[in-house]
Chains A and B, each alone.
Chain A
Amino acid sequence: MTARAITRVLVAGGGLTGWCAAAALKRRAPFLDVTLLATAIAPDALADRIACTLPSLPGFQADLGLGEDDGVTRAGAGYRLGTRFAGWAEGLPDYVHAYGSYGHAIGPAAFHLHWVRAAREGSTTPFDGFSPAAQAARAGRFVPPTPDTLFAAHDYGLTLDLDRHRAMMRAFALHVGVRETVGEIAEAACDARGFLSGIRLTGGETLAADLYVDATGPAARLRGAIDTERQDWSAWLPCDRVLLGSRQAGEGPPVLTPVTAHAAGWHWSSGEQVGIAYASAHLSDAQAAAMLAADGATPDRPVTIHPGTRPQPWRGNCVAIGDAATQVEPLEWCNLHLALSAIDRLVAMLPDADMAPVERADFNRQTLAEAERVRDFLAAHYRTARRPEPMWQAVARAAPPVSLAHTLAQFAERGRLPFYEEETFARDSWAAILLGQGVLPRRVDPLAETMSFAELRGMMDRFTNAIAAALPRLPAHAEWRAAQMRRLAR
Chain B
Amino acid sequence: MTWKIGTGIEAKGGDGSVTTDRLRVVIVGGGTAGWMAGAALTRLVSGRCSVRLIESEAIGVVGVGEATLPHIRAFNERLGIAEADFMARTRATFKLGIEFRDWGRIGDSYIHPFGTFGRGSGPIDFHHYWTRLAREGHAPPPLDRLSYACALARAGRFDHPGRDREDLFSTFGYAYQFDALLFAPYLRQLAEEVGAVRTEGMVVNVERDGESGLIRAVTLADGERVEGDLFIDCSGFRSLLLGQTLEEPFEDWSKWLPTDRAVAMPCRTETAVTPYTSAIAMPAGWRWRIPLQHRTGNGYVYASDFIGDDEAARALEQAVEGEPLASPRLLRFKAGRRRRSWVGNCVAIGLASGFLEPLESTSIYLVQQAITALIELFPERGMAASDRDEFNRIIDLEYDRIRDFLILHYHATTRDDSPFWNYVRTMPIPDSLAEKMELWRRRARVVKYREGVFLDASWIAVYLGQGILPEGWDPRADVARADALTRAVADLQAEIDADIGARPDHRAFLQRYCPMVEAA
Interface residues of A (CB under 8 A from B): 1-2, 4-5, 28-31, 91-93, 108, 119-120, 122-124, 126, 129, 348-350, 352, 354, 356, 358-359, 361-362, 384, 386, 406, 409-410, 412-414, 416, 418-419, 421, 438-443, 445-447, 449-450
Contacts and interface: CB of A to CB of B under 8 A. Distances in A.
A416 B475 contact: no
B384 interface: yes
Contacts of B447: 362
Contacts of B44: 108, 447, 450
Nearest to B377: A416
Contacts of B18: 442-443
Contact of B4 (A30, A120, A124): A124
B48 interface: yes
B439 A362 contact: yes
B1 A93 contact: yes
Given A31-B475, A358-B438, A441-B11, 12 more contacts: A92-B3, A124-B2, A129-B1, A349-B445, A350-B476, A352-B472, A358-B442, A412-B386, A413-B387, A421-B449, A442-B11, A449-B48
21 contacts: A1-B475, A5-B475, A28-B123, A28-B476, A124-B5, A129-B1, A348-B474, A352-B475, A356-B442, A358-B435, A358-B438, A361-B435, A406-B389, A413-B11, A416-B377, A421-B449, A442-B13, A442-B18, A446-B47, A449-B47, A450-B47
**8 tightest A-B CB contacts, nearest first:** A412-B11, A440-B8, A438-B8, A119-B5, A442-B11, A446-B48, A124-B2, A413-B386
Contacts of A30: 479
B221 interface: no
A443 B475 contact: no
Contacts of A123: 5
B478 interface: yes
B1 A126 contact: yes
B417 interface: no
Contacts of B8: 438-440
B478 A1 contact: yes
B13 A413 contact: yes
A91 B7 contact: yes
A34 to B, nearest CB: 14
Interface string B18-50: 100000000000000000000000001101100
B512 interface: no
A441 B11 CA distance: 7
A116 to B, nearest CB: 9
A352 B8 CA distance: 54
Given A418-B390, A421-B450, A29 B439 contact: no
B435 A362 contact: yes
Contacts of B11: 412-413, 439, 441-442
Given A120-B5, A124-B4, A442 B10 contact: yes
B12 interface: yes
Contacts of B384: 413
Contact of B390 (A410, A440, A449): A410
B326 interface: no
A358 B389 CA distance: 31
B82 interface: no
Nearest to B448: A366
B443 interface: yes
A283 B291 CA distance: 74
A330 B495 CA distance: 51
Given A356-B442, A418-B393, A447-B376, A126 B3 contact: yes
Contacts of B375: 108, 446-447
B443 A352 contact: yes
B476 A442 contact: no
A359 B475 contact: no
Given A410-B390, A442-B13, A108 B78 contact: yes
Contact of B380 (A356, A358, A406, A443): A443
Contacts of A384: 9
B439 to A, nearest CB: 6
A8 to B, nearest CB: 13
Given A410-B390, A418-B393, A441-B11, A29 B475 contact: yes
Contacts of B405: none
A442 B375 CA distance: 18
Nearest to B4: A124
A410 B443 contact: no
A356 B435 CA distance: 11
A28 B472 CA distance: 19
Contacts of A126: 1, 3
B211 interface: no
A438 B475 contact: no
A129 B389 CA distance: 33
B41 to A, nearest CB: 10
A319 to B, nearest CB: 16
B164 interface: no
Interface in B359-398: 375-378, 380, 384, 386-387, 389-390, 393
Contacts of B1: 93, 126, 129
A418 B387 CA distance: 11
A169 B391 CA distance: 46
Interface in B339-377: 375-377
Given A1-B478, A442-B11, A124 B3 contact: yes
Nearest to A138: B1
B224 interface: no
B451 interface: yes
Interface string B455-484: 000000000000000001111101100000
A442 B45 CA distance: 19
Contact of B472 (A2, A92, A418): A2
Nearest to A124: B2
A343 to B, nearest CB: 14
Contacts of A358: 435, 438-439, 442
